[in-house]
Copies of this chain bind each other. A is one copy, B any other.
Amino acid sequence: MIILTQRDQSVLEAVITDYIETGEPVGSRTISKRSALNVSPATIRNVMADLEELGLLHQPHTSAGRIPTARGLRIYIDSIMQSKQLERQERDLIRDELRKRPRDVKDLLQRTSRFLSQYCRQAGVVLWPKLTVTRFKHIEFIRSGPQQVMVILISKDGLVHQTNIEWTEEITQRELDKYSSYVNELLQDLPISSVKERIREEMRSEKALFDKLVSRALEMARQAMHDSSLDDSEVYIEGQSNLLDNPEFADVARMRRLLHTFEDKSRIIRLLDVTLKASAGIQIILGTEDELQGLQEMSLISSPYGRGDRPLGVLGVIGPLRMDYSRIVPVVEFTARFISQILELADEN
């Protein structure tokens, strides 16, 4: 555990704030002039040397100023930084932006992602709710071939999921309708995670053993819910081009690495899944080599949305390590809360 004196903290904060603003290494003179503590550059230099020894600052070359390391940022974020409060008008703006034209969930989340990217001038990211955490609302079997059935599954939150299944014998739409309505009745309001279980249970019941319709309907439902893609996650990343405006991406090689990472969504999904499972409010992950390969020098501010006890997905902002955390953190926090509200409303019915 690193213990910093009040002055150390002030200097660290000053370096970081200035660095976040300018993106350039910060010299001792600048800090001496800017910061509240009235000490000379030479003194600052001593403190900075100490902070460098602790691994919180870094000097690109001997005659340059300092920039914060990931470790330095970590400490700043965890114990020094004060998140700015959102102004009322800012909150209103976010609300208006997200509330307009309440179309389907997909639209809402896509727009959220776009909004986050624009408002924070970084990349906005939203992890799509997994079906498995919502509740069953409706299923529909539709004949799409002599022995082919298209299945549409709808969750309480308004998520729509689509699969195809092959059936062993020819089947009419009329029969399928009967299956649908039976299964709908049976599974109404169940958490999707326990649907499989319920079906299996029911299949063992007396009714299923003797009633051909029931047993077939159950078999079809079983196949439909067996689909592995039920558990698939999807992720929206918007505003990647905002990242390019940061001077840290003057380097083309870096850009390329980053875009590659964004295209291979699975890695991002895995990362967001961590936040989802932690589900402990806002979370900030700094891209040191070990944690997010491919996102070195990047940083992720994210928060789960949904009910506290039942998070649906994750939303947040991806940007360079040099981001204005004190501004973006409350924006992400507020957005997550607001989206949760909207979705909860839908879920009531």
Contacts and interface: CB of A to CB of B under 8 A. Distances in A.
B148 A158 contact: no
A154 B154 contact: no
A255 interface: yes
A51 to B, nearest CB: 32
A36 interface: no
Contacts of A154: 142, 150, 152
A143 B160 CA distance: 14
Given A103-B164, A241-B263, A255-B252, A137 B142 contact: yes
Interface in A257-280: 259-260, 262-263
Contacts of A229: 103
Contacts of A163: 103-104
Interface in A141-158: 142-146, 148, 150, 152, 154, 158
Contacts of A102: 164
A262 B145 CA distance: 37
11 contacts: A102-B164, A103-B229, A104-B164, A138-B140, A142-B154, A143-B349, A144-B346, A177-B181, A239-B263, A241-B262, A244-B259
Nearest to A250: B252
Interface in A280-304: none
What interface size band does chain A fall in?
Answer: 35 or more
Contacts of A238: 263
A160 B162 CA distance: 8
B164 A152 contact: no
A256 interface: yes
Nearest to A244: B256
A249 interface: yes
Interface string A188-224: 0000000000000000000000000000000000000
Nearest to A156: B144
A100 B129 CA distance: 27
Given A138-B140, A145-B346, A152-B160, 16 more contacts: A103-B164, A103-B229, A104-B162, A106-B162, A137-B142, A140-B152, A144-B346, A148-B349, A150-B158, A152-B154, A241-B256, A241-B259, A241-B263, A244-B252, A252-B255, A255-B255
Contacts of A260: 241
B263 A145 contact: no
A90 interface: no
A152 B150 contact: no
